[in-house]
Structure 1
Amino acid sequence: MLPQQADRWAGTSAAALRERWDRESVYAFGSIPSTNDVARELAGAGAPAGSIVLCHEQTAGRGRRGRAWRSPAGAGLYLSMLFRLGTEIVPPLVTVVAGVDVARELNRRFPGLGVGVKWPNDLMARDRKVGGILSESAGGGNAEGLLVIGVGVNVEPGRLPEEVHRAVSLAECVGPVSLIDVADAVVAGLERRLPAVPNTLDSASLDELDRFDWLRNRWVEHRIPDREPAVGLAAGIAPDGALLLRPRGGALRRVVAGSIEVGGS
């Protein structure tokens, strides 16, 4: 059962949001555990592609590998969108494509922001995390092409928890911004390529990705549970979305899983 929907989000009714974004399904909530979880429930009930879930606060927001995403009321944008791709989902390509397109749109709408993408799912500004993306299959396995993309963006600094010391907000980077304008940017970014996301990136897409690649030419540690970290130089992104890592004195390798931490030079 869905939670009780809110009458308004960011001062705007759900009906006005549906008209604003030209779609039949926009669901706005006050406080819910996770927009991705609600979007997955809607997908199971037959919600159409393009359905959007928004909330003022997430009580159990998460990132990759189950990490908590702090989502206090009024501090940021918490939005998920449903896609029915009709093709096999290629991780981490969909996450990388979503990150680049959302970053591109945020930069276009908020001059001077300078958002980049830290592989595979972090949005970075001023060398700190300003947002994150979580891609999840919405049921039945990847081959069904049913996908939920969740986006969290820090908007107001004063409302972020004190323990989030490595984060930054849009307001700190470019001054006060409207939450609805941030949502416009995220919706436009997600819809740029994801409704027909390719299985591989062409040369023009790779060139664009290179411009947004925050990790490129940084020394990083690649961490996988129960293994020693591998130190190498981030050398770009492969056409299938894998991170290219050049270890000291070793051959170029592809990274498709695990976590990446800057440092280790």
Structure 2
Amino acid sequence: MVGHPFYTLDEIDSTNNYAMEQVNSGQVTSGTAWFTSNQTAGKGTRGKQWLARPGDIIALSIALQPAMLPLSRQFMLSMAVALATHDFLSAYAGDETIIKWPNDIYWRDRKAGGILIENVLRGSMWHYAIIGIGLNINQGKFPDALTNAVSLKQITGKNWDAASLAKDLCRHLDNRIKQLHVSAIDTLLSEYKTKLFRWQQPALYRKDGEIFQGIIRDILPDGHLCLERDGTILQLGFGEVEFILTH
């Protein structure tokens, strides 16, 4: 069960760092979760930092043994976690909640949170996945540099108890991870596409310093984005293309 046990940390540099230490110590069972609303050096994708005041965020990490999947199917876990986080946030923020490829969580065209999954390998075996989820909960405003961030408080006008929400997020994660099996990839991929930001819509992107108009046409089972540009399909991996926001 995801979230059993569930540990609350008063303050930590990064829940993913802490979870990794616990896994490496050998004292962890699959499904263990660590939560804080006071993370001092949170990690985002591609080395970015993610910081907030105490009480403003959910920072949640889960140690999972993904025995149901081979390492070659790790994008399935990414999709399942993104869908679970979408399930969770949409229950509070409504049906304008969407997933920005590969696994950022958006409300309309603004970022509500993100996901970072780090793998622990033993040889070629996928020993553990450290699933890190960060969500903006109680921020009333953001620094000027974060022009497209949004919090659940800004969406709903309410303050929330981050720890209670984190436990509910674990419930949604458990439901989705129970669906994981190699044979379920088509079903999972189909649902993931229906929740995708800019799916089949013309929009602006940047690649190799050049801005162009493209249309997301498909997502491959390994996670590659199929982006149509001038009648040609580009297959792009994580970090190879930037979404240009125009608001």
Q: Tell me whether the two structures share a fold, i.e. TM-score over 0.5.
A: yes
- Is residue 111 of structure 2 the alignment partner of residue 129 of structure 1? yes
Instruction: Provide the C-alpha distance between the structure 1 equivalents of 2:178 and 2:120, rounded to a whole number of angstroms.
Output: 15
Q: State the alpha-carbon separation in 2 of the partners of residues 142 and 154 from structure 1.
A: 35
Shift of 1:139: 4.3
Residue 42 of structure 1 is aligned with which of 9, 18, 22? Answer: 22
2:9 matched to 1:29?
yes
Give, in whole Å, the separation in 2 of the partners of 1:31 and 1:121.
26
Specify the alignment match of 1:166 in structure 2: 148
Query: How many residues were matched structurally?
Result: 240
How far apart, CA to CA, are the structure 2 residues paired with 1:172 and 1:203?
Answer: 35
SS class of match (2:163): helix
Q: 1:67 aligns with which of 45, 48, 65?
A: 48
- In structure 2, what is the equivalent of residue 214 of structure 1? 197
Q: Is contact 1:35–1:58 with CA below 8 Å preserved after alignment?
A: yes
RMSD across aligned positions (CA) = 2.8
Change (3 A) 1:180 1:264: closer
**2:233 counterpart of 1:255:** no
Q: 5+ residue gaps in structure 1?
A: 1-17
Counterpart for residue 220 of structure 2: 238
Aligned runs of 1:4-153 on 2, under 5 Å?
23=4, 25-46=5-26, 47-86=28-67, 87-89=69-71, 90-107=73-90, 109-110=91-92, 112=94, 114-140=96-122, 143-153=125-135
Kindly indicate whether the alpha-carbon contact (under 8 Å) linking 2:99 and 2:196 is maintained by their aligned counterparts in 1: yes
Contact 2:35 2:166 in 1 (8 A): no
Candidates 148, 169, 184, aligned match of 2:167: 184
Q: TM-score, normalised by structure 1?
A: 0.79
Give the Å deviation of 1:58: 1.4
CA distance, structure 1, for counterparts of residue 21 and residue 227 of structure 2:
37
CA contact (8 A) 1:36 1:149 kept: yes
Give ranges in structure 2 of 5+ residues lacking alignment: none
Separation in 2 of the partners of 1:80 and 1:154?
A: 15
Distance 1:124 1:218, change over 3 A: farther
Corresponding letter in the other structure for 2:51: R
Q: Tell me the CA shift for residue 103 of structure 1.
A: 0.3
Question: Matched residues in 2 for 1:115 and 1:128: separation?
Answer: 10
Give percent identity, aligned residues only.
Answer: 26
CA distance in 2: counterparts of 1:60 and 1:259, whole angstroms: 25
Q: What's the offset of the Cα at 1:245? A: 1.2
How much has 1:120 moved relative to structure 2? 0.9
SS in 1 for 2:43: coil
SS of the residue 1:77 aligns to: strand
Q: Which one has more relative contact order, counting CA pairs under 8 Å at least 6 apart?
A: 2
Cα gap change, 1:142 to 1:92, in 2 (>3 Å): farther
Tell me how far 1:64 sits from its aligned partner: 1.0
Deviations 1:45-92 (A, max 9, x none): 220001111112112111111111123211111100010012433344
Code of the aligned partner of 1:69: W
Distance 1:154 1:115 in 2: 13
Does the Cα contact within 8 Å between 1:103 and 1:116 map onto a contact in 2? yes
- Return the TM-score normalized by structure 2: 0.84
More moved, 132-141 vs 145-154: 132-141
8 Å contact kept, 2:3–2:167: no
Shift of the alpha carbon at 1:255?
A: 2.1
**Alpha-carbon distance in structure 1 between the residues aligned to 2:211 and 2:128:** 34
Are the structure 2 counterparts of residues 163 and 153 from structure 1 closer, same or farther at C-alpha, using a change threshold of 3 Å? same
